[in-house]
Chain A
Amino acid sequence: MSSPSPKSPELSDHSKKYDRQIRLWGEHGQKSLERANICLINATAVGCEVIKNLILPGIGSFTIIDGNIVTEEDLGTNFYVEKEAIGASKSECCMRLLQELNPDVNGDYLDESIDSLLETRSEFFQSFDVVIASNIKEATLKNLSNLLWDYNIPLVYCRSLGFVGSIRLQFREHCVVEPHPDNKPLDLRIENPFTTLKEHLAVSEVNGKSPWVHVIHKHLVEWKKDHEGNPPKTYKEKNQFKEMIRIAMKSDEENHEEAIKAVNTVFESAGKISSNLSAIFNDEACQKLNTKDKNLQFWVIAKSMQDFIKTENNDLLPLQGVVPDMTADTDSYIKLQSIYRQKAMQDAENVYQRCLNTLLNIGMKNEIISENTVRLYCREASGLRFIRGTKIQSEYSDWDKSTTLAEGLECQQPLMELYAVLRAYDHFYTEFGYIPGESYVEPDTPKLKGLVTKLLQDWNIRHPVSDDMVYEICHYGGAEIHSISAFIGASAAQEVIKLLTQQYVPIDNTFLYSGITTETATYKF
Chain B
Amino acid sequence: MEISQKRWSNLSKILERNGAFCHGDFTPSKDNLEFLQTTAKILVIGAGGLGCDILKDLGLMGFCDIHVIDMDTIELSNLNRQFLFRRNDIGSSKAEVAAAFINNRIPGCKVTPHFCKIQDFDQSFYRQFHIIVCGLDSIVARRWMNGMILSLLNYDDGQLDPSTLIPMIDGGTEGFKGNARVILPGMTACIDCTLDLFPPQVTYPLCTIANTPRLPEHCIEFVKIIQWPKELPFGEVTLDGDDPQHVMWVYEKAQERARQYNIAEVSYRLVQGVIKNIIPAVASTNAVIAAACVTEVFKIATQCYNPMNNYMVFSDLEGIYSYTYEAEKKDDCLACSSIPKEVAVEDPNTMTLEDLIKYLCENHEFQMKNPGITGCVEGKQKTLYMSTVKSIEEKTRSNLTLSLGELGLKDGQELFVSDCTSPNTVTLKLKYKGNEIEME
Flag B294-309 by CB within 8 Å of A: 1 or 0 each: 1100100000010010
Q: With A76-B60, A489-B287, A518-B308 known to touch, is A329 a contact of B212 (CB < 8 Å)?
A: yes
**What residues on B are CB-neighbors of A72 within 8 Å?**
3-4, 6-7
| Complex-state Cα separation, A53 to B49, whole angstroms | 12
Q: With A483-B291, A491-B288, A491-B316 known to touch, is A57 a contact of B282 (CB < 8 Å)?
A: yes
**What residues on B are CB-neighbors of A21 within 8 Å?**
80-81, 280-283
| Complex-state Cα separation, A477 to B215, whole angstroms | 59
Q: With A17-B76, A481-B14 known to touch, is A77 a contact of B318 (CB < 8 Å)?
A: no
- Taking a contact as CB atoms under 8 Å apart, the answer to whether A483 and B21 are in contact is no
B268: nearest chain-A partner, CB-CB: A9
| Interface membership of B186, Cβ < 8 A | no
Most buried by B among A477, A487, A490, A494: A490
- Taking a contact as CB atoms under 8 Å apart, the answer to whether B282 and A475 are in contact is no
| Interface membership of B405, Cβ < 8 A | no
Shortest Cβ gap from B133 to chain A (Å): 12
Shortest Cβ gap from A9 to chain B (Å): 4
Q: With A23-B273, A479-B13 known to touch, is A493 a contact of B284 (CB < 8 Å)?
A: yes
- Taking a contact as CB atoms under 8 Å apart, the answer to whether B268 and A11 are in contact is yes
Flag B304-345 by CB within 8 Å of A: 1 or 0 each: 010010001000111111101000000000000000000000
- Taking a contact as CB atoms under 8 Å apart, the answer to whether B319 and A482 are in contact is no
**What residues on B are CB-neighbors of A49 within 8 Å?**
287
**What residues on A are CB-neighbors of B214 within 8 Å?**
325-326, 328, 330, 333-334, 337
**What residues on B are CB-neighbors of A162 within 8 Å?**
13-14, 19
- Taking a contact as CB atoms under 8 Å apart, the answer to whether B294 and A483 are in contact is yes
| Interface membership of B251, Cβ < 8 A | yes
- Taking a contact as CB atoms under 8 Å apart, the answer to whether B80 and A56 are in contact is yes
- Taking a contact as CB atoms under 8 Å apart, the answer to whether B13 and A182 are in contact is no
A438: nearest chain-B partner, CB-CB: B13
Q: With A11-B268, A182-B317, A472-B20 known to touch, is A57 a contact of B283 (CB < 8 Å)?
A: yes
| Complex-state Cα separation, A522 to B80, whole angstroms | 28
| Interface membership of A1, Cβ < 8 A | yes
| Interface membership of A266, Cβ < 8 A | no
| Complex-state Cα separation, A483 to B301, whole angstroms | 14
- Taking a contact as CB atoms under 8 Å apart, the answer to whether B60 and A181 are in contact is no
| Complex-state Cα separation, A493 to B80, whole angstroms | 14
- Taking a contact as CB atoms under 8 Å apart, the answer to whether A490 and B283 are in contact is yes
Shortest Cβ gap from B175 to chain A (Å): 6
**What residues on A are CB-neighbors of B62 within 8 Å?**
76
> Which of B19, B53, B176, B269 is close to A24, meaning CB atoms less than 8 Å apart?
B176
| Interface membership of B261, Cβ < 8 A | yes
> Which of A182, A472, A491 is close to B21, meaning CB atoms less than 8 Å apart?
A472
**What residues on A are CB-neighbors of B287 within 8 Å?**
49, 52-53, 486-487, 489-490, 493
| Complex-state Cα separation, A188 to B17, whole angstroms | 62
| Interface membership of B402, Cβ < 8 A | no
| Complex-state Cα separation, A480 to B9, whole angstroms | 10
Q: With A21-B281, A333-B214, A476-B13 known to touch, is A56 a contact of B308 (CB < 8 Å)?
A: no
Shortest Cβ gap from B223 to chain A (Å): 15
| Complex-state Cα separation, A334 to B213, whole angstroms | 10
**What residues on A are CB-neighbors of B248 within 8 Å?**
9-10
Shortest Cβ gap from A419 to chain B (Å): 15
**What residues on A are CB-neighbors of B118 within 8 Å?**
none
- Taking a contact as CB atoms under 8 Å apart, the answer to whether A23 and B278 are in contact is yes
- Taking a contact as CB atoms under 8 Å apart, the answer to whether B11 and A20 are in contact is no
- Taking a contact as CB atoms under 8 Å apart, the answer to whether B105 and A20 are in contact is no
Most buried by A among B6, B10, B105, B263: B10
- Taking a contact as CB atoms under 8 Å apart, the answer to whether A325 and B215 are in contact is yes
**What residues on B are CB-neighbors of A518 within 8 Å?**
292, 295, 308, 312, 322, 324
Interface residues on B, range: 35 or more
- Taking a contact as CB atoms under 8 Å apart, the answer to whether A73 and B244 are in contact is no
A385: nearest chain-B partner, CB-CB: B318
| Interface membership of A262, Cβ < 8 A | no
Q: With A20-B281, A24-B280 known to touch, is A476 a contact of B77 (CB < 8 Å)?
A: no
**What residues on A are CB-neighbors of B281 within 8 Å?**
20-21
| Interface membership of A484, Cβ < 8 A | yes
| Interface membership of B128, Cβ < 8 A | no
| Interface membership of B1, Cβ < 8 A | yes
- Taking a contact as CB atoms under 8 Å apart, the answer to whether B284 and A469 are in contact is no
| Interface membership of B285, Cβ < 8 A | yes
Q: With A57-B80, A441-B17 known to touch, is A486 a contact of B318 (CB < 8 Å)?
A: no
Shortest Cβ gap from B170 to chain A (Å): 14
- Taking a contact as CB atoms under 8 Å apart, the answer to whether B13 and A73 are in contact is no
A78: nearest chain-B partner, CB-CB: B60
> Which of B21, B81, B290, B320 is close to A486, meaning CB atoms less than 8 Å apart?
B290
| Complex-state Cα separation, A325 to B267, whole angstroms | 18
| Interface membership of B56, Cβ < 8 A | yes
Q: With A181-B317, A330-B212 known to touch, is A11 a contact of B9 (CB < 8 Å)?
A: no
| Interface membership of A505, Cβ < 8 A | yes
| Complex-state Cα separation, A517 to B308, whole angstroms | 7
- Taking a contact as CB atoms under 8 Å apart, the answer to whether A20 and B77 are in contact is yes
Shortest Cβ gap from B319 to chain A (Å): 5
B298: nearest chain-A partner, CB-CB: A483
| Interface membership of A163, Cβ < 8 A | yes
| Complex-state Cα separation, A84 to B281, whole angstroms | 34
**What residues on A are CB-neighbors of B409 within 8 Å?**
none
| Interface membership of A497, Cβ < 8 A | yes
| A82-121, CB < 8 A from B | 82-84, 86, 100-103
| Interface membership of A516, Cβ < 8 A | yes
> Which of B7, B13, B19, B176 is close to A504, meaning CB atoms less than 8 Å apart?
B176
A84: nearest chain-B partner, CB-CB: B1
Q: With A83-B1, A481-B11 known to touch, is A490 a contact of B312 (CB < 8 Å)?
A: no
| Interface membership of A19, Cβ < 8 A | yes
| A438-452, CB < 8 A from B | 441
A103: nearest chain-B partner, CB-CB: B87
- Taking a contact as CB atoms under 8 Å apart, the answer to whether A53 and B284 are in contact is yes
Shortest Cβ gap from B297 to chain A (Å): 8
- Taking a contact as CB atoms under 8 Å apart, the answer to whether B317 and A180 are in contact is yes
Flag A16-30 by CB within 8 Å of B: 1 or 0 each: 111111111000000
Most buried by B among A57, A75, A179, A518: A518
| Interface membership of A244, Cβ < 8 A | no
Q: With A475-B19, A476-B13, A476-B14 known to touch, is A494 a contact of B284 (CB < 8 Å)?
A: yes
**What residues on B are CB-neighbors of A102 within 8 Å?**
79
The stretch from A303-311, A373-381, A455-463, A507-515 touching chain B is: A507-515
**What residues on A are CB-neighbors of B76 within 8 Å?**
1, 13, 16-17
| Interface membership of B234, Cβ < 8 A | no
**What residues on A are CB-neighbors of B318 within 8 Å?**
179, 181, 504-505
Q: With A21-B80, A330-B212 known to touch, is A491 a contact of B19 (CB < 8 Å)?
A: no
> Which of B212, B284, B294 is close to A491, meaning CB atoms less than 8 Å apart?
B284
- Taking a contact as CB atoms under 8 Å apart, the answer to whether B322 and A520 are in contact is yes
| B1-46, CB < 8 A from A | 1, 3-4, 6-14, 17-21
| Complex-state Cα separation, A482 to B269, whole angstroms | 37
**What residues on B are CB-neighbors of A22 within 8 Å?**
269
Shortest Cβ gap from A487 to chain B (Å): 4
Q: With A72-B6, A507-B320 known to touch, is A515 a contact of B295 (CB < 8 Å)?
A: yes
| Interface membership of A525, Cβ < 8 A | no
- Taking a contact as CB atoms under 8 Å apart, the answer to whether B19 and A471 are in contact is yes
Shortest Cβ gap from A104 to chain B (Å): 10
18 chain-A/chain-B pairs, Cβ below 8 angstroms: A20-B77, A20-B278, A21-B280, A52-B287, A75-B7, A77-B60, A83-B107, A100-B86, A162-B13, A182-B317, A327-B208, A337-B214, A468-B21, A483-B61, A486-B294, A491-B288, A515-B305, A518-B308
The 3 closest A-B pairs by CB, nearest first: A490-B287, A486-B291, A482-B60
A23-B269, A76-B8 provided; 10 other pairs, C-beta below 8 A? A23-B278, A79-B59, A103-B87, A209-B212, A330-B214, A483-B292, A486-B287, A490-B288, A506-B319, A516-B21
